[in-house]
Chains A and B, each alone.
Chain A
Amino acid sequence: MASPDGKHCRSQTNGEAKPPDSKKQKITELITDDEIMSEFSHHDASVARINNGSFGACPQSVISAQQRWQLRFLRQPDSFYFNDLKPGILESREAIRSLISADDVSEVSIVDNATTAAAIVLQQMTWAFAEGRFEKGDVAVMLHYAYGAVKKSMEAYVTRAGGRVFEVQLPFPVSSNEEIITEFKLALERGKVKGQRIRLAVIDHVTSMPSVVIPVKELVKICREEGVDQVFVDAAHGIGCVDVDVKEIGADFYTSNLHKWFFCPPSAAFLYCRKSAKFSDLHHPVVSHEYGNGLAIESTWIGTRDYSSQLVVPSAVEFVNRFKGGIEGIKKRNHEVVVRMGEMLAESWGTSLGCPPDMCSSMIMVGLPSCLRITCERDTLKLRAHLRECYRVEVPIYYRSPKEGEIDPITGYARISHQVYNKLEDYERFRDAINKLVSDKFTCPSLSA
């Protein structure tokens, strides 16, 4: 699971001539399975940790790099502030720019997390309404499965300012991209029905719960065709989980957390803003000395705080490059394994997956046996806690309301993740736990509140 080779990889075999950049290859040897275990030895070994999606994971070498930055500040904070901080952040931003294929580093701002990025993008809408550039009733569109905090942000910044928010209903389980595209087109049409402008579309790249990879490139294209002003892709699960080429995707704004799938410590995220005069109105909500110098610069200083998680992006890049194929290789293997594990579980339980393999990333939704009687969201929380406490399995569970007339519906889906530290035993333990609950005739209603 950790790495297919599990060995050092020598780029040349005996007798072959050394390629010109052999110096580079001498330094980067592939990480071994043992080294991977060591990098994540701080994880609670008794837990089958199949929920990388919620809080991510950070290897020891990046934690050490972070502690070195923290110590530098504590040692001489004034000197750190005047001499070290800005160059360090710039280096991180440049590393991100390269990873996401952005044109210019000025398009890349580092913020705490995707939730902060959403607040930044949405705040400009509030001003636009207040200053009369938007009209009351102008529309913003988002997916029904948008992250809870983003929905609340829409309420705070858009609805409250006089805008209308439309949700795109998405089917789940889902079986093809076309289903999503159709629903999206419908929502745009509804939005324009009273002749109002659609000012913003907020599209997840990978929805959180239930987790599905959305065909963002196609949806962005549709937005352009339908005259949507701005498109914001919320890719909290982006980097390290799906392909992120911001120019190809074509959105105006793109945000992704780095602490979920890119091995940074909590918390760090980037917000990409395509270069355009329209966007000079973006501001970080915490206003400090750099106000007015552009979002990227404003974000480099929002008062005294610990910026170390933002400074270790180059260290995270170093870490992923120890794996075969770098981040691309990690992504590919995570996807392949999580699909295999999902299929293994579904087969063992007699259930099904929430979407086809090509619509999932490093996470997949696996149906739970209906006899567990998951009847509401609270049941999912209770079951999750039960699995954590009694079986030492950490996995989030999603409640899906059954449709009328469904017989023995699958109402609960587990969102399993796969990251480089996971092992087959993690999924086997989950498989066996559920099978035991089933054979014990366990039901969610029987769990105390």
Chain B
Amino acid sequence: MNGGDDTRNLGAAHRNGNNHHHSAKRPKISLPISESEIREEFSHHEEGVARINNGSFGSCPASVQSAQKNWQLRFLRQPDDFYHNTLSEGVLHSRTIIKGLINADDVEEISLVDNATTAAAIVLQQVGRGFAESRFNPGDSVVMLHCAFQAVKKSIQAYVTRAGGSVVEVELPFPVTSKEEVIDAFRLGLRRGKQDGKTYRLAIIDHITSMPSVVLPVKDLVSICREEGVERVFVDAAHAIGSVKIDVKEIGAEFYVSNLHKWFFCPPSVAFLYCKKFELSKDMRHPVAFQEHGNDLPVGNAWTGTRDYSSQLVVHSAMEFVERFEGGLEGIMARNQRDVVEMGKMLADSWGTNLGSPPEMCASMVMVGLPSRLLITSGDDALRLRSYLRVNYGVEVPIHYQAQSQREEGDGPRDKDGGRITGYARISHQVYNVADDYYKFRDAINELLKKEFTCRMIFTE
């Protein structure tokens, strides 16, 4: 089966007597999935690229793509029949699976949307209407993290600021060494942002921040929100499903969104938006008004005009894929975490740098400090370095520029040369990654250092 087929360096390097491969219990399908089957499923990935950026655009195995094509074909074959007899059932099935995965009470609480960006528009439009219709007072605020995803920040600008709301930004420490640091900073930020007579109408908190990437103690942060009088909380968990366990009841937020095409093997694109039941009656609408306008959001989300719904219909195929792995989704998540931390440490050791957060605050991604001698001095430098690595070394990895925080005591972490660490690479680990991907990255950076390369040397076209 797969016991002897372990050609992954990574597997050999750290299995250490832990036997993760058991023989198949079910004779018909070969379970768990073997290494060569995994390679086969992702054989469409470009060869020669160390693809260590699953976080940005996700990935989709061949068997799920195949299922998607079947759905697309069914629509093209007889679209009227598909629309009248097949579509809503298929979408309901997907929503039901998600409900089970995230421990929601009722499938009515689950809507399918394109992506987290769309979900943000839905929630923020509703907040905007609160201002426009004077249910909220001018100056009432929306709280967000300093490192919130840029698209979300723009959405707040478009729907909240424009409508007369104000925005409070809370900065979280990075690098970070414990969840208590995050909790303290968040509480402080909320208290500082309070103004007499003004209400916190909404807080937007990431479950796993994007750049720099850290797993936040979201349950604790939601509690703090309640303590500080925040009316409603929206958790932007774009990266969560397939990375960390999700229990929306435990987390307690009114809204929770996660993309299924990032870490849950669905094709682009599909995300779920969870809305606590009583919120549904409060006028939640998809930004594109639809035939069923006026009804609940979930029904409306099933039909936003003629489009390709196939990515929403393959959730159960993704589930089937996941269950071919040892330990199913939990097994995948545990191994991704273990492997990405190990590779992160390997890189940090080789370069004499650091990790941006402790293992318990990582899921399938970790921030690895880049050597100071590369002279990453701006966001532009980071972007250019990323392109440079892609073009010249076949390494795909996003780079974050960490400006020195005003709040920081001292002047931030330093590398083995004593220089300030200003750049971090966000490495991802997904089931298709092998140790060689990370060695390639390690060696690329070491070569750049040897050549005394700095970001200044990259000219923009």
Contacts of B151 in A (CB 8 A): 287-289, 291, 303
Is A44's beta carbon under 8 Å from chain B?
Answer: yes
Q: A74-B60, A302-B117, A305-B268 are in contact. Are A82 and B291 (CB under 8 A)?
A: no
- Known contacts: A71-B44, A73-B268, A115-B304. The answer to whether A303 contacts B125 by CB under 8 A is no
Best-surrounded residue of B45, B58, B304 (most CB of chain A within 10 A): B304
Contact B308 A153 (CB under 8 A): no
Q: Within 8 Å of chain B (Cβ to Cβ): is A43?
A: yes
Q: Give, as a whole number of angstroms, the nearest-CB distance from A120 to chain B.
A: 9
- A39-82 contacts to B, CB under 8 A, are 42-44, 47, 49, 51, 54-58, 63, 67, 70-71, 73-79, 81-82
Expressed in whole angstroms, the minimum distance between the Cβ of B206 and any Cβ of chain A is 15
A152 to B299, CA, bound (A): 15
A185 to B458, CA, bound (A): 64
Interchain CA distance A116-B115 in the complex, whole Å: 16
Q: Decide: A291 and B114 in contact? CB cutoff 8 A.
A: no
Q: Report yes or no: B77 in contact with A303, Cβ–Cβ below 8 A.
A: no
Q: Give the complex CA separation of A130 and B124 in angstroms.
A: 16
How many A-B contacts are there with CB distance less than 8 Å? 185
Asked whether A265 is an interface residue with its Cβ less than 8 Å from the other chain, the reply is yes
Give, as a whole number of angstroms, the nearest-CB distance from A283 to chain B.
7
Stretch of B195-203, B281-289, B372-380 at the chain-chain interface: B281-289
Residues of A with C-beta under 8 A to B423: none
Contact check: which of A126, A127, A267, A285 meets B305 at CB < 8 Å? A267
In chain B between 26 and 77, which residues have their CB closer than 8 angstroms to a CB of chain A? 44-46, 49, 51, 53, 56-60, 65, 69, 72-73, 75-77
Question: Does A303 contact B304, Cβ atoms closer than 8 Å?
Answer: no
Q: Judge if A148 is at the interface, Cβ distance under 8 Å.
A: yes
* Cα distance A71–B56 in the bound complex, in angstroms: 17
Contacting A at CB under 8 A, from B381-403, are 387, 390, 396, 398
Given A42-B73, A153-B289, A155-B293, residue A54 in contact with residue B45 (CB < 8 A):
no
Q: Which of these, A82, A259, A265, contacts B387 with CB under 8 Å? A: A82
Contacts of A396 in B (CB 8 A): 80
Is the CB–CB distance between B81 and A153 below 8 Å?
Answer: no
Tell me how far the C-beta of B311 lies from the nearest C-beta in chain A, rounded to whole angstroms. 7
Query: At the interface with chain A, which of B138-146, B156-164, B347-355?
Result: B156-164
Residue of A nearest to B79 (CB): A55
Residues of A with C-beta under 8 A to B73 = 42
Chain A positions within 8 Å of B150 at CB level: 289
Whether A77 contacts B44 by the Cβ 8 Å rule is no
Nearest chain B CB to A202 CB, angstrom units: 13
CB-CB under 8 A from A55, the residues of chain B are: 75, 79-80, 83, 306
A152–B57 Cα distance when bound, in Å, is 34
Confirm or deny: A234 has a beta carbon within 8 angstroms of a beta carbon on chain B. no
Known A44-B78, A130-B132, A149-B291: A285·B49 in contact at CB below 8 Å: no
Determine whether A266 belongs to the interface, using a CB cutoff of 8 Å to chain B. Answer: yes
Interface size class of B (residues with CB under 8 A): 35 or more
Beta-carbon contacts of A271-287 to B below 8 Å, as 1s and 0s? Answer: 00000000000010111
Give complex CA distance A129, B282 in Å. 22
Task: Tell whether B259 is near chain A: CB-to-CB under 8 Å.
Answer: yes
Q: Which residues of B contact A309 (CB under 8 A)?
A: 308
Contact in complex: B57, A286 (CB < 8 Å): no
User: How far is it, in angstroms, between the C-alpha of A130 and the C-alpha of B155 when the chains are bound?
Assistant: 18
Q: Which of A43, A113, A257, A288 has the most CB of B within 10 A?
A: A288
Contact of B306 among A67, A257, A291, A394 (CB under 8 A): A257
Whole-angstrom distance between the Cβ of B149 and the nearest chain A Cβ: 9
Contact in complex: A388, B308 (CB < 8 Å)? no
In the complex, whether B407 has a CB less than 8 A from a CB of chain A is no
Contact assessment for A112 and B307 in the assembled complex, using a CB-CB cutoff below 8 Å: yes
Instruction: Check if A439 is an interface residue, CB within 8 A of chain B.
Output: no
* B268 close to A79 (CB less than 8 A): no
Inter-chain CA distance A287–B159, complex, in Å, is 9
Of the candidates B158, B267, B293, which one forms a contact with A152 in the assembled complex, judged by CB atoms under 8 Å apart? B293
Docked Cα-Cα span, A267 to B288, in Å, equals: 14
**Which residues of the partner chain A approach B268 to less than 8 Å between Cβ atoms?**
73, 304-306
Whether B96 sits at the interface, judged by CB under 8 Å, is no
Give the distance in Å from the alpha carbon of A306 to the alpha carbon of B305 in the complex: 16
Question: For the complex, what is the distance from the CA of A127 to the CA of B288, rounded to whole Å?
Answer: 16
Q: Is the CB of B57 within 8 A of A287?
A: no
When C-beta atoms are compared, the residue in chain B nearest to A307 turns out to be B268
CB of B290 within 8 A of CB of A115, answer yes
Given contacts A155-B289, A156-B285, 16 further A-B contacts (CB under 8 A): A49-B78, A54-B83, A58-B76, A74-B45, A76-B46, A112-B307, A149-B289, A153-B288, A156-B289, A285-B288, A287-B159, A291-B157, A292-B154, A304-B259, A304-B269, A394-B81
Q: Which 9 residue pairs are nearest across A and B when measured between Cβ atoms? A: A303-B117, A285-B287, A77-B57, A55-B79, A152-B293, A115-B305, A305-B269, A303-B115, A291-B154
A–B complex contacts, Cβ < 8 Å, 24 sampled: A44-B78, A54-B83, A56-B306, A74-B45, A75-B45, A76-B49, A76-B396, A79-B390, A112-B288, A113-B305, A113-B307, A115-B288, A116-B288, A149-B289, A152-B293, A152-B294, A259-B306, A265-B72, A291-B151, A302-B117, A303-B117, A305-B115, A305-B268, A306-B308
